[in-house]
Chains A and B, each alone.
Chain A
Amino acid sequence: MSFRVAIASGKGGTGKTILSVNLALYIQEVLHKNAVLVDLDVEEPNSSIFLKTEPKEVFEASRRVPKFIKSKCTNCGICANVCMFNALIKAKEHVLIYKNLCHSCNACAKLCPEGALVMENSRIGDVRVFESELNLTLIDGILDLKEEMSTPLIESVKRKSDEMSADADFIIYDSPPGTSCSYVESIKDSDLVLIVTEPTPFGRNDSALAIETAKKLNKKIKVIINRADLNESETVKFFSEQGVQVIAAINNNIKIAQSYSNGEIIFGKFDDFDKALNKIAEVIIKEAQS
């Protein structure tokens, strides 16, 4: 059974993707274990940039929304009454469906006494599968512009990656920023949550929110400090007060930023970064064994 690690943060731009990509590669190349990289930042997926690869397969992803069958409708208005999201409006003899308000709960279709509403698929984006020359499989999702909800697509990406990860020792989820529904969906099936933070009030504030939510989901949580300076005792103390262990600190290095800006793989180029990857991988393996 694959061990699932979610790389998350709360604050955007702390280094989730750079870490997810390089960690997955490290696990494959150095530890010779099977890893699958899954990019769940469906609003702005970036992992493929670093693997310099185009999608091998693309699958349309959709969510369920009701379809109105006028011939069966008796104008009872039950559907509009039961929808808590106001996605169905009874306007004279028609039922209007506002798809972008629909939460796919099924209540209208289930409760319509005449069967005048059936659930059908509505496109939200694509799930993409990539093979890279580094032999790492990447699965991501890309949300259609103007689609408001990421969670249904995140679910689809996870389902597809589960199908393809039967042989994987590790699944690395590159999670989206934020601390609410897309974050919850991204970490909810993981065995370990690694919060990547920066040693600033912004980083601490947002990590605290992310940790609070992960705790409510009963997740195992560890922290990685990115862009650290020589003395991060304040930040380390902060996390120990949260009851969460800091397992690695990656030093601030403009050369890493420059390399990242060109979409380059970082591992193998900077000692400090590689040491951190090693420590993180050790923790992951230890957790997987327990």
Chain B
Amino acid sequence: MKIAVPAEDKNLESLIDDRFGRAKGYIVYDTETKILGWIDNQKNANASQGAGLKAAQSIIESGAEVLLSYDVGPKAFELLEKSGIISYRIETKIKVDEVIAMFQENKLKKINKGE
């Protein structure tokens, strides 16, 4: 399955980005093929509004089924949910590979409604 994680840089050792809509970019990691994809979000950083929605759009198009994130706004959350993507909450700023491991070990809680 493909897992999306907002991140500060495009490798598994980089730290997660604690913003959703204005994150530097999103790592999309395929757990089966172990292939890493990167969605650059720089051009969204300056958006005056709707950044979360645009980010959600990119994540939907990447084919990700799961999102791991600190924080997701209500509109973006609703869009992701409608598109069949389940979001899990990250609580501390750790590395991407660490948070993916936590997800695979069922240590992360689902986000229930956007906050």
Contacts and interface: CB of A to CB of B under 8 A. Distances in A.
Contact of A89 (B48, B49, B53): B53
Contacts of A90: 57, 61
Contacts of A80: 57
B57 A98 contact: no
A85 B54 contact: no
Contacts of B15: none
A92 B60 contact: yes
B60 A86 contact: no
A58 interface: no
B67 to A, nearest CB: 14
B59 to A, nearest CB: 11
Given A91-B83, A92-B83, A85 B60 contact: no
A179 to B, nearest CB: 18
B47 A89 contact: no
B100 to A, nearest CB: 25
A91 B82 contact: yes
Interface in B52-81: 53-54, 56-57, 60-61, 75, 79
A193 B47 CA distance: 34
B79 A85 contact: no
Interface string A78-113: 001000111101111000101001000000000000
B82 A101 contact: no
Interface residues of A, number: 12
Given A80-B57, A92-B60, A85 B83 contact: no
Nearest to B75: A98
B50 interface: yes
Contacts of B51: 86
A180 to B, nearest CB: 13
Contacts of B53: 86, 89, 98, 101
A33 B21 CA distance: 56
Interface in A98-138: 98, 101
Contacts of A87: 50
Given A80-B57, A91-B57, A92-B60, A86 B79 contact: no
A91 B49 contact: no
Contacts of B82: 91
Contacts of A101: 49-50, 53
A92 B60 CA distance: 8
A89 B51 CA distance: 11
Interface of A: 80, 84-87, 89-92, 96, 98, 101
Give the 4 A-B CB pairs with smallest separation, nearest first. A86-B50, A86-B54, A101-B50, A89-B57
30 contacts: A80-B57, A84-B47, A85-B47, A85-B48, A85-B49, A85-B50, A86-B47, A86-B49, A86-B51, A86-B53, A86-B54, A87-B50, A89-B53, A89-B54, A89-B56, A89-B57, A89-B79, A90-B57, A90-B61, A91-B57, A91-B60, A91-B79, A91-B82, A91-B83, A92-B60, A92-B83, A96-B79, A98-B53, A101-B50, A101-B53
